[in-house]
Amino acid sequence: MTFQFDWQAAFASIPYLLKGIPYTLLISFVGLAIGFVIGIIFGLLRISPAFWLRWPAIAYIEIFRGTPVLVQVLFIFYGLPQLLGGPIDAITAGIAAIAVNSGAYISEVVRGGVQSIARGQREAGLSLGLSRVKTFRYVIWPQAFRRMIPALGNQGIISIKDTSLFAVIGVGELVRQGQIYIATTFRALEVYLMVALLYLVITLTLSLALRMLERKGLVGQ
């Protein structure tokens, strides 16, 4: 039996697959926005001189960096309802998983970005009469954030790809839409190729945007 790749079937799947893109982007960007806030909080706690603040942050970072995002979303979707006494819908579970997972990685990005700024910058701000909070806000953070942008962009790409795992809980993102279409057409190779290409378009767009920022000198040093 000779297999023939059916380009017509591949292109015919695109309208169905496109229905999954809004879910993919919604979960990615909302989850990343929440993860960014989490990352700032725990990243700063991670470098706190206070032991009782630093170690809970370390524990959070190590737990969520050391466990697969698939296990995390399964725990949130199937495990938490038993503790909370009520169901969690699949989209909410997906957003929560991206938030806590990306937040752990972003925490390390924030820590590294802040610690990369020379101590002299802080001393200069204080010598000008700024408080510690204002020195951080107006002197340290703007410089650190510019250095964080490439790593934050990379984390965004990773999180977008991680949403493909959420088909296991029924989220109607790209992979799930592909699975549904394959169930009626039995053209797995063609459909999954289109799924991969659509993910590639999304991630390449984000990568190109980051490169444009780098060329304009808006990120990095």
pLDDT, tens digit (0-9, with 9 covering 90-100), for 10-61: 999 999 999 999 999 999 999 999 999 999 999 999 999 899 999 999 999 9
Report residue 221's pLDDT band, with 50, 70 and 90 as the boundaries: low
Give CA 114 to chain center in angstroms: 20
Report residue 2's pLDDT band, with 50, 70 and 90 as the boundaries: low
Report residue 1's pLDDT band, with 50, 70 and 90 as the boundaries: low
- DSSP letters spanning the chain: ------HHHHHHTHHHHHTTHHHHHHHHHHHHHHHHHHHHHHHHHHT-S-HHHHHHHHHHHHHHHSS-HHHHHHIIIIIHHHHHTS---HHHHHHHHHHHHHHHHHHHHHHHHHHTS-HHHHHHHHHTT--HHHHIIIIIHHHHHHHHHHHHHHHHHHHHHHGGGGGGGT--SHHHHHHHHHHHH--HHHHHHHHHHHHHHHHHHHHHHHHHHHHTT-S--
**Residue 93: is its pLDDT beyond 70?**
yes
What are the tokens at 98?
């991206």
Instruction: Pick from 2-16, 106-120, 204-218 the range whose average pLDDT is largest.
Output: 106-120
Provide mean pLDDT across the span 120-131: 84
- What integer pLDDT is reported at residue 96 of this predicted model? 97
**Alpha-carbon torsion, ordered 105, 111, 114, 117, to 10 deg:** -110
**Residue 201: is its pLDDT beyond 60?**
yes
**Residue 113: is its pLDDT beyond 70?**
yes
Of residues 105, 44, 165, the one with CA closest to residue 173 = 165
More confident residue, 50 or 215: 50
Lowest pLDDT segment from 93-102, 166-175, 192-201: 166-175
CA dist 192 and 176 (Å) reads 11
CA dist 91 and 172 (Å) reads 9
Q: What is the pLDDT of residues 163-193, one digit of tens each?
A: 999 999 999 899 999 999 999 988 899 999 9
Which amino acid, 219? V
Domain residue ranges in the chain: 24-170
What are the tokens at 114?
């802040």
Q: What CATH homologous superfamily does 24-170 map to?
A: MetI-like (1.10.3720.10)
CA dist 105 and 85 (Å) reads 30
Which amino acid, 106? I
- What integer pLDDT is reported at residue 126 of this predicted model? 82
Lowest pLDDT segment from 104-118, 122-136, 182-196: 122-136
CA dist 30 and 48 (Å) reads 28
- What integer pLDDT is reported at residue 217 of this predicted model? 61
Q: What is the pLDDT of residues 57-84, one digit of tens each?
A: 999 999 999 999 999 999 999 999 999 8
- Contact by Cβ (8 Å): 103, 64: yes
Q: Chain-wide mean pLDDT for the chain?
A: 91
CA dist 82 and 28 (Å) reads 26
